[in-house]
């Protein structure tokens, strides 16, 4: 069992100093953090966490993305994964599984309870028996119906200062906004008085006051509770907005980084192996700042530029942008890595592609989203112009044009090619549930709800899904292609998360990278164009097929993973 010793207190001191220069308050924060950690240890700590290897692959899913009548959805998810992918999916990222009031789970009312509509903690424990579990910690904000917030409105001393009411002289002129709604909203107390509270993402999602020592202690309790329940990865949702200071952007502030580092220090001390994943859908330099010094902050950050760049490659028929960007990725060493994905519950964020794709290239992706039945949202720039902010689209549909979309074989072939890039890229791969199972766009769900992101959030009937993997050509084709690549990937140490990567210049038609070194190296080549690409070379083995391959004409959507024989 882990213990608490003086090393943790010593490690926390310089981080707490970033939060306050008040000696008494710093001591208060330190004692509260140590108390939360001691409670975790006294309750038994956490099970051991496996290291990430070439066998690591995450599935991103809601707890009820797959359902069956009269069965808890979390149990249905477990049974379905066991019956379909087995060990090919090593880790499951469960999007918020807690009671909620809006934003499809991201307005949490109780951090410590599983939504009864999904199941209970026993269902999470059962799922964790064969897989790692990533739990979503919505640390920046909670529902306006949450007990913490209701207690604050009622002036319960336990929740005093848990939320942010900016003073009249608080300068918000530089605050970066991800929404067009007001920065603060008015709420009525039980006595009829009105109070304002900071609400970055809308009226029903109220920001916590992380500068308050009691709030930080409570948040730390939540983090450690998830670990105690078996989480091996903690995703810190919208973490960039956590700290507020007058006259600043209120995003990516030193206080935010200090808190992430505090949580990393605590986890390293009492739950080594548990990984922190930060979710900051922002331009690349801001995103990678959450790696800290590569040993003291996030273990993983989302590779947000990858989805739009892969989509652009197939739309334009050229891998040049993708190759150039990938060639200049930072060397992260052995202790940190990328969390790679193509599709997720949200749309394809376009902000991370700024400076990589031109405005015209971004607009072309927006046009593709519209032509495939989706939507594109725009953000206002300081000069009054607009830029593409997000694509709400089924990623598999966006990969193909209008004439190809009804051809299930083409969709499966394009999905295979795109995911070959995902699975080969340095880091760990994360596949969205609807991509793994070849789902189509839920346009009716988007239109009926008025929520653009619902285009990619359909709830699947488990039995119909399993049947579709046999009888639906699109589902079967996509699932078999991705499953085969996952199977092969697990056999080659070249695909370990921190294994070396070299981008090769084999022409704009192909994305070509070499992973690993020496005899273990694997060269991945994907033809993103619509014409054959000539690949010159000596005889090697394509580990996807077992065939010997020399110089070849790689067909459109063609994929080879080449290894010395």
In this predicted model, what pLDDT tens digit does every residue of 19-56 receive, in sequence order?
Answer: 999 999 999 999 999 999 999 999 988 877 889 999 99
Q: Which two tokens stand for residue 19?
A: 């939060």
Please tell me the chain's helix, strand, coil percentages from 3-state DSSP, rounded to the nearest 5: 40, 20, 40
pLDDT at residue 1, rounded to an integer: 42
| End-to-end C-alpha distance for the chain, whole angstroms | 47
Q: C-alpha angle with apex 35: 33 to 39, nearest 5 degrees?
A: 120
pLDDT at residue 35, rounded to an integer: 97
pLDDT at residue 5, rounded to an integer: 67
Predicted structure pTM score: 0.97
Domains of the chain are 58-125+132-140+214-495 (3.20.20.80), 501-563 (2.60.40.1180)
The stretch 531-548 carries a mean pLDDT of 95
The stretch 196-219 carries a mean pLDDT of 98
6 pLDDT higher than 90: no
Catalytic center residues? 237
Distance between CA atoms of residues 344 and 338, nearest Å: 16
Query: Is residue 520 classed as helix, strand or coil in its secondary structure?
Result: helix
Tell me: the pLDDT tens digits for 124-181? 999 999 999 999 999 999 999 999 999 999 999 999 999 999 999 999 999 998 888 8
Distance between CA atoms of residues 297 and 295, nearest Å: 6
Distance between CA atoms of residues 20 and 221, nearest Å: 21
Of 8-22, 41-55, 73-87, 265-279, which range is least confident? 41-55
Q: Which two tokens stand for residue 36?
A: 């939360």
- Distances 85 to 39, 90, 468 between C-alpha atoms, Å: 37, 10, 14
Tell me: the pLDDT tens digits for 305-351? 999 999 999 999 999 999 999 999 999 999 999 999 999 999 999 99
pLDDT at residue 170, rounded to an integer: 97
């Amino acid at each position: 069992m882990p213990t608490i010793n003086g090393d943790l207190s010593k490690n926390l001191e310089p981080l707490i100093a970033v939060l306050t220069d008040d000696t008494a308050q710093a001591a208060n924060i330190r004692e509260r953090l140590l108390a939360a950690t001691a409670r975790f240890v006294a309750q038994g700590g956490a099970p051991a966490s496996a290291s990430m290897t070439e066998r690591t692959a995450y599935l991103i899913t809601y707890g009820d993305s797959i359902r069956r009548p009269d069965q808890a959805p979390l149990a249905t998810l477990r049974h379905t994964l066991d019956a379909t992918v087995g060990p090919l999916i090593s880790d499951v990222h469960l999007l918020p599984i807690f009671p909620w009031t809006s934003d499809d789970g991201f307005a949490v009312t109780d951090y410590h309870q599983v939504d009864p509509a999904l199941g209970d903690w026993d269902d999470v424990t059962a799922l964790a028996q064969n897989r790692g579990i990533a739990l979503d910690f919505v640390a920046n904000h909670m529902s306006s119906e949450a007990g913490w917030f209701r207690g604050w409105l009622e002036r319960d001393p336990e929740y005093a200062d848990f939320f942010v009411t900016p003073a009249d002289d608080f300068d918000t002129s530089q605050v970066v906004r991800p929404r067009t709604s007001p920065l603060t909203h008015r709420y009525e107390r039980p006595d009829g008085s009105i109070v304002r509270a900071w609400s970055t993402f809308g009226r029903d999602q109220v920001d916590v006051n992380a500068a308050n020592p009691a709030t930080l202690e409570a948040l730390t309790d939540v983090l450690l509770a998830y670990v105690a329940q078996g989480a091996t990865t903690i995703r810190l949702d919208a973490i960039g907005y956590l700290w507020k200071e007058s006259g600043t952007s209120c995003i990516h502030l030193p206080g935010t980084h200090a808190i992430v580092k505090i949580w990393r220090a605590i986890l390293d001390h009492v739950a080594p192996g548990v990984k922190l994943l930060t979710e900051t859908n922002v331009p690349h330099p801001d995103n990678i700042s959450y790696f800290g010094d590569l040993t003291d902050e996030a273990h993983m950050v989302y590779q947000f530029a990858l989805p739009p760049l892969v989509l652009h490659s197939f739309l334009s028929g050229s891998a040049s942008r993708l190759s150039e960007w990938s060639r200049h990725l930072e060397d992260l060493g052995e202790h940190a890595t990328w969390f790679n994905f193509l599709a997720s519950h949200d749309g394809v964020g376009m902000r991370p592609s700024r400076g990589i794709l031109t405005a015209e290239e971004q607009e072309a992706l927006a046009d593709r989203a519209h032509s495939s039945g989706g939507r594109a949202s725009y953000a206002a720039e300081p000069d009054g112009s607009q830029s593409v902010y997000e694509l709400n689209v089924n990623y598999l549909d966006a990969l193909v044009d209008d004439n190809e979309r009804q051809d299930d074989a083409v969709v499966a072939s394009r999905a295979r090619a795109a995911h070959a890039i995902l699975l080969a890229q340095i880091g760990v791969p994360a596949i969205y549930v609807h991509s793994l199972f070849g789902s189509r766009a839920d346009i009716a769900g988007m239109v009926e709800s008025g929520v653009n992101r619902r285009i990619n959030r359909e709830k699947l009937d488990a039995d119909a899904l399993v049947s579709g993997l046999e009888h639906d050509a699109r589902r079967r084709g996509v699932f078999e292609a991705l499953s085969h690549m996952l199977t092969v990937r697990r056999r080659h140490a070249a695909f370990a998360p921190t294994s070396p990567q070299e981008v090769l210049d084999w022409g704009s038609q192909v994305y070509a990278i070499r992973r690993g070194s020496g005899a273990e190296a694997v060269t991945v080549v994907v033809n993103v164009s619509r014409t054959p690409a000539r690949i010159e070379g000596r005889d090697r083995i394509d580990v996807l097929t077992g065939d010997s391959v020399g110089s070849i004409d790689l067909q459109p959507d063609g994929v080879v993973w080449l290894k010395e024989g």
